[in-house]
Every structure is written in C-alpha cells, then in structure tokens.
Amino acid sequence: MSYSLGQEQLDAIEQILLQDLFDIGIHCVFLIDMAGNVIASVDNGDIKHDIYSLAALAAGNFGAVSTMATMIGEDEFSLLFHKGQKENIHFSKVLGDFLLITIFGKEISLGYLRLKVGEATENMKHLLEPCITQ
C-alpha cells in the first residue's frame, strides 16, 4: 500500500480531528498508516506522550490483533480499546490502510467516543480514498 496526501488533504484531516473529536474533550488524537507513520495529530497541549513511539507500537499491536482475529476465523477486529486508571486509548481502522488513535480520560464515555470516532472516520474516508494507490 502506498498513498500520497497533499497539504490540502492533511489540513482537511486535521480539521476533522479538531471538529469531530478534539472538541468533545479528548486529550490527543492521531491518524497513522499501518506502518506506524503519523499522518496528522491534535492534542490539548498537556500531553507528554511520545506519539511517534505510540504510533509504531499501535501499528504493531493492531497487526498482532489482526492475526489473532484470523486465527479464530474473523476477517478482522476493526477497533481496539484499552482502559487505564487515568487515560484510555481507542484504536479504529480507517479504510483498512489507516488507524485512528484516540487518547481520552474518564470524563468521556466509550459509547459517545465510538459514535464520534465513527463520524470522523466517515468524514475522512472521502479524503483518504483517492490518495491510496495499490
């Protein structure tokens, strides 16, 4: 898989992350490719996480979980969620080639976050699809 995103698409993706997700009170959200490269990110300024290391680990984690899904007869698990004491992390696949990672606290319910991630994902698809080449 390869893709080519111009500055206009990157700006539009960042706007979607800001409007659809950041405005609900998440701590950090970033879009990566399945190789672990960060494409776009938005955070609240209080985050001290190394998102580049997180992106690489998330891509590897998602790959491992995808293999587990295949082993039990599933095509894939399209999302993952890890709950912590202070922060939670949610992974959602976008078009099979990208992964949206959201870090959020206890003040946001998982159901509401999943709804907003779904909306953001739908809004990003029309920007990402034309940029993917096989």
- Expressed as residue numbers, the domain containing 86 is 2-128
**Cβ neighbours, 10 Å, residue 39:** 19
Task: Answer whether residue 25 shows pLDDT above 70.
Answer: yes
109 within some domain: yes
CATH number for the domain spanning 99: value is 3.30.450.30
Residue 15, domain member (yes or no) = yes
The single-letter DSSP state of residue 82 is E
Structure tokens at 68: 């587990």
Average pLDDT of the chain to the nearest whole number: 88
The pLDDT tens digits of the residues spanning 63-73 come to 898 899 999 99
> In the block, which residue shows the tokens 């007869």?
73
Question: Considering only CA atoms, which of 45, 52, 40 is closest in space to residue 8?
Answer: 40
Report if residue 89 sits inside a domain: yes
Q: What value does the mean pLDDT take over residues 81-91?
A: 91
Give the number of domains in the chain.
1
